Structure 1
């Protein structure tokens, strides 16, 4: 199945590239990704985080854009994935919302970067690894400069993300806020053999009504993000992932990730309860490798079918 998906995507990409040369001569929108930083300090990282928040407040959270959000996937218990396109940027904003089991403190702890190896390995079949490079504190803000690696997706190469993960000061209403900002620095260049990709995000964590069946606490989680899998910057190596493919698959992949996160949160909550009671917890998926293989195969087939549908 991997061969089918790969060959189909390559054929379609070549076909679109050929068609593109005959299409309108209007140049595509090119947006520079990643905030450049020369000196890696807490103050400088806080500056780029503040700049990202301002941009989100204007472009994603502004009142004039709230009616422009289009829901692309709905699921059980409030699970929701929506998308917002801007004429100034080819990469859309994606908003993912779900209710997670556990208190705000529990869910916040599960989403911490130090827990990503466990969380993302269970959630993202293409997650390859994470390195926490440097840590900084500035008042109530905690920041970690990190590098994430993603495995090959069908015909598209491995990805390398360099970003700052931020645990921000709580809002005045008590809502906890976190986020990520891609950065560019000569100290940490792109990993050889990988395409540099970019992500920025803002997440909100607030109490939700307790589970009516069990009485257990729940947390409302909303994550708004932009992910650019292609590197159009100077010295970059492209990436070739067409935006239509990303927008066609983000609803399914986003809702699937949220559902897996919810399952992982429940497992971690049960693990904490078992440890508190002095019991051994054996609830995590021992068939993890097989589950991940199925997820990769399914995504490969899904991508291949979307390529065929686009071609036809």
Structure 2
């Protein structure tokens, strides 16, 4: 039994005629007769009997007719709902953004996405890369922006920004006027870092360990603008991405190229490789990728 056969039965009942039902459905009478015959053979009971020129339903036909209305109506409703999903008229997306990337790169893209697909709803969650990757992996989030690289066996991804960190110093700092500063030159400084659930936290510590010192952490935060304010107040030094440094007031802090080693800030959008991604989430991946250049700036 399939939905097409039920639709044929209902149309025959509506017109009390195989011929008129076939005309209404724009099919031939042999086609509709064969479909009903196949259904009767499958069920093992007749659905229609002819009484003179009148077409009547059998008991089984009445039972089928009573249920078929609801089945066909539900199927049509399902088709409409699926059409809304596949045409992005409805749907829900759960997106994870780290504070730096969210503030710097996504407001404009999110606004354009909302204007393009007003029926889609978006749930945004801010957190560090470590937590966001965990939430994408366990299905709490559909997609997330994290620090790359990630486990390619678990995640699909695309990269949209590839920068380096710069040293952020108080203007009166002895190193503030230099063009470059080696990481080891900061070994006696108090560091203001992102919290441990931010991938940059561990990456900076590993880089410091690599040149022979353990950074003295004075404060940790989840907000890059608060870290900036702390440096401006002379509370310590920080390491922030190039694009974020471009947003800082040069009268309040100095930013200097960091070398030996250069610490990368490589961001990408990730989603689970082996999990179903909704139509809405897939369109977000396509849309956001199309609107970000390799430098992470919205394309025109």
Query: TM-score over 0.5 for the alignment?
Result: no
Indicate the structure with greater strand content: 1
Q: TM-score range by the shorter chain?
A: under 0.3
Q: Which has the larger radius of gyration?
A: 2
TM norm structure 2 = 0.21
